[in-house]
Amino acid sequence: MKIKNIFTYCFISSLFLFSLICIWKILVTLQGIELTNFNFNKLFIFGIILCAISLLIGKKLNLNIKIILLALLFSIFDYFISTNLPIWYSFGIFLISLFFFNNIKDYDKNFLSKNHSSQKLFFNFLTLFGITLFSFVILFPFYMMLVTSFKTQTLLLLNPLDFSINFAQGLPELFKSYFIVFKDYNFGRYMLTSTIVSLGTVIITLIFAIPAAYAVARLNFFGKNFLSTSILIIYLFPAIVLVIPLYTIFSQLGLRNSIEGLLIVYTATTLPVAIYMLQGYFKSIPKELEEAGIIDGQNWLGIIFKIILPLSLPAISSVALYVFMIAWNEFLFSLMFLDRPNTFTLSRAIQFLNVGAETPRQYLMAGSVVVTLPILIIFVYFEKYLVSGLTAGSVKG
Amino acid sequence: MSSKLAKIEKRTAYLLILPSVLLVFSIILFPIFSNIWISFKYVELKDLRIPEPRAKKLVKSIKDNPNQIKIIYKLRNSSLTQEITNVKFKDKYPDNIEPISLNNKCQFKSNLLKCELGNWPKKYRENLEIIFQNTNNQEISKKELKSYKPKLSGKSQNILLTYEFTLNNFKKVIKDKAFIDLLSTTFYYTFFGTIGAIVFGILAAQMVNQKFFGRTFMRSVLLFPYVAPVVALAYTWELLLDPTSGTLNNLLINYQIIDGPINLLGQKYVTLNILGFDFKLRLALTTVIIFEIWRYFPLAFLFILARLQAVPKELYEAADVDGANPIQKFLNITLPQILAVISILFMIRFIWNFNKFEDIFLLTGGASGTRTLPINVYQQGFSIGDIGMGSAVSIVIVVFLLIFMFIYFKLLGKRADEN
């Protein structure tokens, strides 16, 4: 066994443990508890000692007893160097160290004498740490959005680090920002507009895209190849180069500030990707089924409705969900085309709130939760369909 | 027989694709071409309102004479900049009412008052007064008179449809001292945003490709920033990074990592001292790039993960037998396998980041050195109100876009040849 390996093992492990503890401490700080020091020196050195002990014990002791013992030792040590902290804080430290020692329980002298053991170790920890860090970095803004919407202006200014939710104040008080956002800021109306626009876009897009995709996938006509390549090229053109001409044309036609105008633009911009996705799927349906349909005397419409549609429901659902997501999240066109509050979509309304004079941030965040939550629920619930939609439509975003 | 079938097939095909083609043509292709047209014109935001002839009808009773009534039409040209030619006027009257006298511009026939009002210069105003009387000497009801609204029509020159062109917009775009800065900001943002998203995508994909508890959940969570609406996320970040009451600054101060708050979104430069050298970093731009990476790495992650899961396990087993270490395995097996995906991703993301508008607009509005080309389109067109300039900037974007697309399709073609 190399000394170098033992040293790197102890060093990396302790660093990993310390990083986990840091994340925990940050989370604790955000509950409004005063904590101003990570205690790097003490915790790091004690971590190294415990890792060395774990290595020395190896498999001589029952592994479960070993990890519980080491985790207890670590939490007690942490309890003594930090003062005035609630018991749940120490309990969290205990759970984290339990998780940590469980991860290093299998490392013993044999493992460290193997080839590349320090690299393997490093990457194992990097993975674990990466997962923790990525989850933290990604979820934290969402968490902040949610908690801010439950707070009041004074509380937010008093201690910007206090992200605890006070459930004792009762539900009406807790959801006050939401009541205000819906009542005074008219978010119910905006939500309805957003829903109508998004669902409308989905329906119209499908009505246009299904026949076109079928023609591109199945029928022979002059200019077919040209059409299928132009679909992709058109799709790559961004909204920002369309905005000025569309604005001028829509202003002159009086289509601005209307839901119809928005529907037309959203449909046109999502149509290429919808056709592209659907034709790919239609091509995978065996031709024999359609030929059987023709023999039965079906016309093209009958074939599309009775054979193609039922078979391609999964693809249609993923197109529908993807288009819904694009329309729901769309911002640029709603910013350009809507300037009267009675036609606002949710995204536009939130931007209006933010630009408007001194809207308290809890209302802004409540509005943000209102626009984010539906799409996240849909995403988690229909993940399979949406992920395939995202993959196919990934050229845009 | 078969040629007849082919004909039917062809006709059906055209019928099926026609609606989509028409829609896409009118909303996407036509605007792109009209962009070229507008970019050679001098058009301002206020010119977009078509000049309208307008009339306000006032009904006034005449003292001691209930059988007569005075009608005043307040006429005006709604435009402050353009004239309206050949204005025609029409208004309806109830039965038994006739004008006492009329000027030569107007005629009264079968309850209809028609006038030819000629040409109106810009800002034109005029009052048209006509006295009417009841032919049966009865009292005239004001209410009934008010219920009819005059109709006006006139021809005005639509500034968008004239044949006057100018090269000034492009001259202004290129001669602008900030143009080079604008381009470099755009490329800086695009390049680092794309590279960052791909690097973090690879890291995340590597992690999720291993088995651990909660892996499917982790995969969903990693996609959250990409799926959620940009408005909500941008404002949350804005609050998070706020210099006075933002969480991040307060957290860093709390743990004594920094002495005073840093305005991450409002400060153009920050001077870093690395190894004794002063190094100027564009702070706000870097923050915006980090947001960009945070929001779009999920997409790279999704793609690379799909590719990683298709890499044959035997390759890694063989490498284990040969005694390769993890870094070697990554460099010699994983990387070559995902290289094709990465290059495609790079091109697509590069094109899209180049055109990204919302993210920067919502975070900084283009201030503190974060003005990119798309932001400039908006600012020229709508903040300054010079539609022609905005169009010219979007033409610049389109030109770059065509170059990128050319490279992208070359790359795609090359890949198709290899397979």
> Helix, strand, or coil here: B304?
helix
Our CA-based measurement puts residue B340 at a distance from the nearest CA of chain A, in whole angstroms, of 15
What does DSSP assign to residue B72?
E
Buried b (16+ CB within 10 A) or exposed e, A19-35: ebbeebbbbbbbeebeb
Please indicate if any CB of chain B lies within 8 Å of the CB of A86. no
Residue B21's alpha-carbon distances to A175, A281, A304, in angstroms, are: 48, 20, 19
The set of residues, in sequence order, having a beta carbon less than 8 Å from that of A295 and lying 6+ positions away, is none
N-to-C CA span, chain B: 40
Task: Please say whether the beta carbons of B350 and B190 come within 8 A.
Answer: yes
Q: Which two tokens stand for residue A28?
A: 């604790």
Question: Residue A71: what pLDDT?
Answer: 85
Nearest to B12 among A160, A219, A371 (CB): A219
The set of residues, in sequence order, having a beta carbon less than 8 Å from that of B298 and lying 6+ positions away, is B201, B204, B222, B223, B224, B225, B226, B227
The answer to whether the Cβ–Cβ distance between A115 and B48 falls below 8 Å is no
Task: Please say whether the beta carbons of B315 and B333 come within 8 A.
Answer: yes
Segment B365-384, tens digit of pLDDT? 888 888 999 999 999 999 98
Please indicate if any CB of chain B lies within 8 Å of the CB of A65. no
Give the phi and the psi of residue B214 in degrees, each rounded to 5.
Answer: 80, 25
Contacts of B12 in chain A (CB under 8 A): 215, 219, 300
Task: Parse chain A into domains and list their residue ranges.
Answer: 3-158, 180-392
* Test mutation, A156, A241, A363, A372, chain B, max B CBs within 10 A: A241
d(CA A83, CA A116): 41
d(CA A396, CA A111): 47
Strand pairing report for B84-92 and B151-156: antiparallel
**DSSP alpha helices (H): ranges in A85-186?**
87-104, 109-113, 117-149, 153-158, 171-174, 176-183
Task: Please say whether the beta carbons of B21 and B151 come within 8 A.
Answer: no
Please indicate if any CB of chain B lies within 8 Å of the CB of A339. no
Provide the β-strand partners of residue B116.
B88
Our CA-based measurement puts residue A223 at a distance from the nearest CA of chain B, in whole angstroms, of 10
* Test mutation, A240, A252, A290, A325, chain B, max B CBs within 10 A: A240
Segment A1-23, tens digit of pLDDT? 577 777 888 888 888 888 888 88
* Test mutation, B4, B8, B27, chain A, max A CBs within 10 A: B27
Nearest to B387 among A36, A138, A244 (CB): A244
Contacts of A241 in chain B (CB under 8 A): 32, 35, 355, 377, 394, 397-398, 401
d(CA B128, CA B75): 7
Contacts of A131 in chain B (CB under 8 A): 207, 212, 218
d(CA A221, CA A229): 15
d(CA A115, CA A281): 48
Nearest Cα residue to A17 out of A93, A111, A131, A82: A93
The answer to whether the Cβ–Cβ distance between B12 and A215 falls below 8 Å is yes
CA angle A295, A296, A300 (to 5 degrees): 85
Please indicate if any CB of chain B lies within 8 Å of the CB of A38. yes
Contacts of A208 in chain B (CB under 8 A): 19-20, 23
Report whether pLDDT(B29) > 70: yes
Task: Please say whether the beta carbons of A327 and A266 come within 8 A.
Answer: yes
Segment B68-110, tens digit of pLDDT? 888 888 888 877 777 888 888 888 888 878 888 777 788 888 7
Please indicate if any CB of chain B lies within 8 Å of the CB of A48. no
Segment B180-232, tens digit of pLDDT? 999 999 999 999 999 999 999 999 998 888 877 778 888 888 999 999 999 99
Question: Residue A366: what pLDDT?
Answer: 93
Question: Residue A376: what pLDDT?
Answer: 93
Write out the DSSP string of B205-245.
HHHHTS--TTHHHHHHHHHHHHHS-HHHHHHHHHHHH-TTT
The answer to whether the Cβ–Cβ distance between A394 and B19 falls below 8 Å is no
Task: Please say whether the beta carbons of B69 and B60 come within 8 A.
Answer: yes
The answer to whether the Cβ–Cβ distance between A376 and B251 falls below 8 Å is no
Domains for chain B: give ranges and CATH numbers.
Answer: 51-157 (2.60.40.290), 170-418 (1.10.3720.10)
Task: Please say whether the beta carbons of B106 and B114 come within 8 A.
Answer: yes
Please indicate if any CB of chain B lies within 8 Å of the CB of A170. no
Write out the DSSP string of A207-268.
HHHHHHHHHHHH---TTHHHHHHHHHHHHHS-GGGTHHHHHHHHHHHT-TT-HHHHHHHHHH
Provide the β-strand partners of residue B56.
B74
Q: 3-state DSSP helix/strand/coil percent for chain A, to nearest 5?
A: 80, 0, 20
The set of residues, in sequence order, having a beta carbon less than 8 Å from that of A234 and lying 6+ positions away, is A272, B24, B28, B29
ipTM (interface predicted TM): 0.90
Owner of token pair 């994909």: B205
N-to-C CA span, chain A: 52
Provide the β-strand partners of residue B386.
B44
Our CA-based measurement puts residue A303 at a distance from the nearest CA of chain B, in whole angstroms, of 13
What is the sign of the dihedral through the CA atoms of B324, B327, B329 and B332? negative
What is the sign of the dihedral through the CA atoms of A113, A119, A122 and A127? negative
The answer to whether the Cβ–Cβ distance between A390 and B38 falls below 8 Å is no
pLDDT per position in chain A (397 positions), as tens?
A: 577 777 888 888 888 888 888 888 888 888 877 777 777 788 888 888 888 888 787 777 787 888 888 888 888 888 888 777 788 888 888 888 888 888 777 777 777 777 677 777 778 888 888 888 888 999 999 999 999 898 888 787 777 787 777 777 888 888 888 998 899 888 999 999 999 999 999 999 999 999 999 888 888 888 888 888 888 788 888 889 999 999 988 888 888 888 999 999 999 999 998 998 888 888 888 888 878 877 887 777 788 888 888 888 888 998 999 999 999 999 999 999 998 888 899 999 999 988 876 788 889 999 999 999 999 999 988 888 777 777 766 555 4
d(CA A226, CA A388): 26
CA angle A333, A334, A337 (to 5 degrees): 80
Contacts of B31 in chain A (CB under 8 A): 242, 245-246, 249
The set of residues, in sequence order, having a beta carbon less than 8 Å from that of A20 and lying 6+ positions away, is A96, A99, A100, A129, A132
Please indicate if any CB of chain B lies within 8 Å of the CB of A91. no
Nearest to B231 among A119, A160, A351 (CB): A351
Our CA-based measurement puts residue B236 at a distance from the nearest CA of chain A, in whole angstroms, of 6
Instruction: Specify the pTM.
Output: 0.87
What is the sign of the dihedral through the CA atoms of B245, B247, B249 and B255? positive
What does DSSP assign to residue B370?
-
Nearest to B232 among A130, A271, A371 (CB): A371
Chain A nearest-CA residue for B158: A252
Q: How much of chain B, in percent, has pLDDT values that exceed 70?
A: 98
Q: Domain A180-392 adopts which CATH fold?
A: MetI-like fold (1.10.3720)
